[in-house]
Amino acid sequence: MGSNEARDLFQAQTHLYKHIFNFASSMSLKCAVQLGIPDVIDRHGEPISLPELVTALQLHPDKTGYVQRLMRLMVHSGFFATIHVCRNQDEEEEEAYDLTTSSRLLLKDKVPSMLPFVTAMLDPALTTPWQFLGNWFCGNEVTPFETAHGMGLWEYGHKNPGFNRVFNEAMASDSGMMNLVIKDCKPNFEGLSSLVDVGGGTGKVARILCEAFPNLKCTVLELPQVVANLQDSANLKFIAGDMFHAIPPADAILLKLTLHALSDEECLKVLKKCREAIPDNGKGKVIIIDIVINEEGDEHESTEAKLFFDMLMMVVVTGRERREKEWEKLILEAGFSKYQITPIFGLRSLIEVYP
């Protein structure tokens, strides 16, 4: 065997190792969040040394070496940074940990925060179904989630209030990122007097829109168990219902990360109900905020994240992420005449759909 061939094989082995142990990054991130490391560093007010971190975490000094190894991986993955500091002239420099932009998104009481999203997505209820993916391909269950738990995601959430609460908090935290881009989306919402947020969870996006557009009347349509204890306000109300049966009439219907959880057949049903709900006076529209896969135009990391979401939709629900041609097919088949896609920050795009 030539040296080039051997080198290629070892590179392939490294590639395999990386993907075999990708879960180590996720589980280490979960551990860092459970320990509250981002908040400890934030409260410290400056980069924190390893001994200071162990003390602040109230861990036994015997764990110091293990914390260092955890942090080494987290630094390599970009969740924390290391700098060398010298506390006074008589001491040698020591390594200290600082937050990065990613870990600032994991602070508990800051806005926006993705902490609930990390907690929910790495909950055993959502990680266990991946162990059943191969079995599912050979079985008859609708999703690997059903193979693992004997029921679908929504039924599981209904029967497990603790998980349902964590899941809804995760969706709200993800929606909170809308605050960062709502000013860039103003032309898409200005001029509307009413809007229905279909599958809008606990109303995080609707509240953001109500604050940005005080004259806009928003309605959140959700499952009864989601909106059971939520209070209406002056320009926001909650309605328990089923989007497959009826959607209240409004100038605009908002579908944020709703359609990607549905099959094409289910999407068509919902989009047709949306078509019935908006006026035919040329002012009505459907606003979809969702992922559009674009392997040719996106950076590698963005495409990889979108493909991860696509697999997640396959594992836990009946949905998928779609390319523009696939979105176009659904939109036209549902009875709409045109659409416009505007990429917004992050993985999502805003798709305006017109009768």
- Tens-place pLDDT, residues 207-239: 989 988 999 999 999 988 788 888 888 899 999
Question: Looking at residues 98-114, what average pLDDT do you find?
Answer: 93
**Selection from 204, 206, 183, 203 nearest residue 195 by Cα:** 206
HSE-CB for 197 with a 13 A CA cutoff: 26
Among residues of the chain, what percentage have pLDDT more than 90?
76
Question: Is residue 255 within 8 Å of residue 199, measured between CB atoms?
Answer: yes
What band does 90 get if pLDDT is binned at 50, 70 and 90?
low
E strand spans, the chain: 48-49, 80-85, 94-99, 194-198, 217-222, 236-240, 252-256, 285-293, 322-323, 338-343, 348-354
At residue 87, does pLDDT exceed 80?
A: no
pLDDT digits (tens, 9 = 90+) for 155-174: 999 899 999 999 989 988 88
User: Buried b / exposed e across 249-287, counting CB within 10 Å, b at 16+?
Assistant: ebbbbbbbbbbbbbeeebbbebbbbbbebbeeeeebbbb
Partners of residue 84 on adjacent β-strands: 95
**Selection from 159, 288, 152, 172 nearest residue 230 by Cα:** 172
At residue 202, does pLDDT exceed 90?
A: no
Query: Residue 181: what pLDDT?
Result: 79
Query: Residue 265: what pLDDT?
Result: 96
Per the model's pLDDT, the better-predicted residue between 185 and 252 turns out to be 252
User: Distance of alpha carbon 66 from its chain centroid, rounded?
Assistant: 30
Question: Is residue 122 within 8 Å of residue 26, measured between CB atoms?
Answer: yes
Handedness of CA 166, 224, 254, 206 (dihedral sign): negative
Cis omega (within 30 of 0) on the bond before 129? Answer: no
Sequential DSSP letters for 71-113: HHHHHHTTSEEEEEE-SSTTS--EEEEEE-HHHHTT-TTSSS-
Structure tokens at 316: 């836990």
Question: Is residue 339 within 8 Å of residue 327, measured between CB atoms?
Answer: yes
pLDDT digits (tens, 9 = 90+) for 261-281: 999 999 999 999 999 999 987
Catalytic annotation, residues: 260
Q: Which residue has the tokens 């390599």?
A: 76
Per the model's pLDDT, the better-predicted residue between 92 and 77 turns out to be 77
Using alpha carbons, list the distances in angstroms from residue 85 to 93, 96, 291.
5, 7, 42
What band does 110 get if pLDDT is binned at 50, 70 and 90?
confident
Supply the mean pLDDT for the chain: 92
What band does 252 get if pLDDT is binned at 50, 70 and 90?
very high
Q: Which residues contact 322 (CB under 8 A, 6 or more apart)?
A: 260, 290, 291, 292, 293, 330
**Selection from 263, 261, 239 nearest residue 249 by Cα:** 239
Q: Which residues contact 270 (CB under 8 A, 6 or more apart)?
A: 198, 243, 244, 247, 255, 258, 259, 262
Query: Residue 141: what pLDDT?
Result: 95
Per the model's pLDDT, the better-predicted residue between 274 and 186 turns out to be 274
Query: Residue 183: what pLDDT?
Result: 72
Query: Residue 111: what pLDDT?
Result: 81
Using alpha carbons only, give the angle 57, 60, 64 rounded to the nearest 5 degrees.
80
At residue 89, does pLDDT exceed 70?
A: no
Sequential DSSP letters for 255-297: EES-GGGS-HHHHHHHHHHHHHHS-SSS--EEEEEEEEE-TTT
User: Distance of alpha carbon 312 from its chain centroid, rounded?
Assistant: 11
At residue 40, does pLDDT exceed 70?
A: yes
Query: Residue 75: what pLDDT?
Result: 98
Question: Is residue 247 within 8 Å of residue 196, measured between CB atoms?
Answer: yes
Segment of 19-23, 107-111, 208-212 carrying the highest mean pLDDT: 19-23
